[in-house]
Structure 1
Amino acid sequence: MKSMSEPTQKYSITMPRDIAEAARARSGPSGLSSYVAAAVARQIERDNLNELIQVAEAEHGPVTEDEIQALRDQLQQARRQQSGDGASAA
C-alpha cells in the first residue's frame, strides 16, 4: 500500500452516512482519509487479482474445488512449519 507521505489530492466523494460514520469511528489516529485510502487500495488489489484469475482461467480452465483444497492444505502445513509445529504434524 502507498504511504500517505506520497503526493495527495483532495477529492469529494459521496457515500451513505452510516458507512461514513462507521469508517470515521474506526479510523483511529490515522484519520478518515487514511482509512478510506487503505480500503480503496485493498479493493484495487482485489480487482487486480480477479483480473489475473480471469486471464488464468481463460488460458488454463477454471480452478477446481480439489485444487483449491490442496492449496489450502499446503498453506496450512507451511504455517504449521513456520510456527515450529511442523514436526508434530503427520
Structure 2
Amino acid sequence: MSEPTGKYSITMPRDIAEAAKVRSGPSGLSAYVTAAVARQIERDNLNELIQVAEAEHGPVGDEEIQALRDQLHQARHEQMRGGESAA
C-alpha cells in the first residue's frame, strides 16, 4: 500500500516551475517535486548528523577528506578492474 498523500499549494518562481514541468516527464510534476523535497530532507538530515558529529569529535580536516576520497577512488578502480577480468 502506498503512503497517504495530501494536496498542497506552493509558490515558486514561474521559470523554475516551467523547467520542472518540462523535466518531470510522464511521472508528472508532483512526483518530480516530491523527489526533490525528499532529497533535500536527506541532505538536511545529513547536515544535522555532521553538526552533531563535529560538535562531539571536532571538524574533519581537508587532509582527512582527501584521504577518504582517495580510498573511495581506489576502491572504485579496483572494483572496475575486477569486473573487467570477470567478464
Query: Do they fold alike, i.e. is TM over 0.5?
Result: yes
Match of 2:39 in 1: 42
Q: Give 4+ residue runs of structure 1 displaced > 6 Å after superposition.
A: none
1:25 equivalent among 22, 26, 30? 22
Letter in 2 for 1:70: A
How large is the Cα RMSD of the aligned pairs?
1.4
Runs of 5+ consecutive residues of structure 1 not aligned to the other structure:
86-90
Name the structure where helix makes up a greater proportion of residues: 2
Match of 1:12 in 2: 9
Normalised TM-score (structure 1): 0.86
Q: Aligned pair 1:53/2:50, yes or no?
A: yes
Report the number of matched residues.
Answer: 82
Superposed displacement of residue 6, structure 1: 2.1
Letter in 1 for 2:55: A
After superposition, what is the alpha-carbon deviation per residue over 1:38-79, rounded to whole angstroms, capped at 9, x for unaligned?
Answer: 000000000000000000000000110000000100110111
Runs of 5+ consecutive residues of structure 2 not aligned to the other structure:
83-87
Normalised TM-score (structure 2): 0.89
Structure showing greater relative contact order (alpha-carbon pairs closer than 8 Å, 6 or more residues apart): 1
User: What is the percent sequence identity of the aligned residues?
Assistant: 83
Match of 2:74 in 1: 77
